[in-house]
Amino acid sequence: MNILGIETSCDETAAAVVSGGANVRSNVVATSLKDHQHFGGIIPEIASRRQIEFINGVVAESLGRAGLALGDIDAIAVTRSPGLIGSLLVGLCFARGLARATGKPLVEVDHIKAHLYANYVQLPEQRPACPQDRLPAVGLVVSGGHSSLFYVENFKKFKLLGSTRDDAAGEAFDKVARILGLGYPGGPVIDRLAVGGANDQIKFPHASLKGNYDFSFSGTKTAVLYYTQRHQHRPGYDVAKVAYAFQESVVAVLAEKSLQACRNFKVNTLLIGGGVAANSALRRVLHSQAQSQGVDVFFPPMALCLDNAAMIAGLGYHWYNVKKS
């Protein structure tokens, strides 16, 4: 079964074809990131306008790379929520129109849950994906807009355990990068800088929020702001060391909460998804700590950490089959 996926929840315009819920035949992403960098963040009106320009070509290219025509597609999957309203409408209206014109079934998919499903799809010439029988699992989604922890019973049943009370992890990275004068987006540049900034002198606090699975990163961000204001003109101030200390604080609480959920729910599979899943420190710390606790942790390939349509098509396959039964 070939599913055409369409994703337009933020600034990317993406389309993909996935067979059998696992094998990626094409995965095309067009981004308007450069149009937003001058503003230091995503401008919703710019994102949706560019998506209107991109979407027809991106879908056509995805079908072409898969070697398929619209008639070969069994169903269409599209992001329903969450996301920027204007951007979501571009994808939803296009997908609904395409489904109406072709008579193909339409499945509307939750974008956040699809980020976890990215671990189960197989890109050509990439490492094997997480086996689809590795359920139940705990799932952590960390991105610019979301920091959410789930108990995943199966591909239709996701129980939200906790979420951020203020800044999402990726949002905190972007704001700290702005404080440090590093530009936008902040995640990749902080990750690169932190590699050369390892130190034990700077420690930033993190909110443990004991007794629940929620996250809070605004206090850590504010601590970076105050530290920078006090020290940036003093001898020995090093942006790389500040970046390292901030990243270690964020990663520590993400790992702590995720593995705590694995212990409490007695599962040995941990799924990570979202843009921050590309962070090298998060991968290093979670792999090390999970192994010592008998938990297998899975990260999507780098190409599937950011917003993409392969994860939408993959999860849409399962939701469509449930819908049919």
pLDDT tens profile 89-126: 999 999 999 999 999 999 999 999 999 999 999 998 77
Domains 2-127+304-324 and 137-300 share a fold: yes
Query: With left for phi above 0 and alpha for psi between -120 and 50, is residue 107 left, alpha or beta?
Result: beta
User: Structural domain boundaries of the chain?
Assistant: 2-127+304-324, 137-300
pTM of the prediction?
A: 0.94
Alpha helices in 11-78 (DSSP H): 33-37, 44-66
CATH class of 2-127+304-324: alpha beta
Report the distance separating Cα 230 and Cα 242, nearest Å: 12
- Are 220 and 243 spatial neighbours (Cβ–Cβ below 8 Å)? no
Cα–Cα nearest to 242, from 289, 234, 142, 285: 234
So what's the pLDDT on residue 36? 85
Report the distance separating Cα 89 and Cα 49, nearest Å: 11
The mean of the pLDDT values for the chain is 94
Rg of the chain over all Cα atoms, to the nearest angstrom: 20
Which segments in the chain show pLDDT lower than 50?
none
- Are 3 and 317 spatial neighbours (Cβ–Cβ below 8 Å)? yes
CATH class of 137-300: alpha beta
DSSP H or E stretch at residue 150: strand 147-154
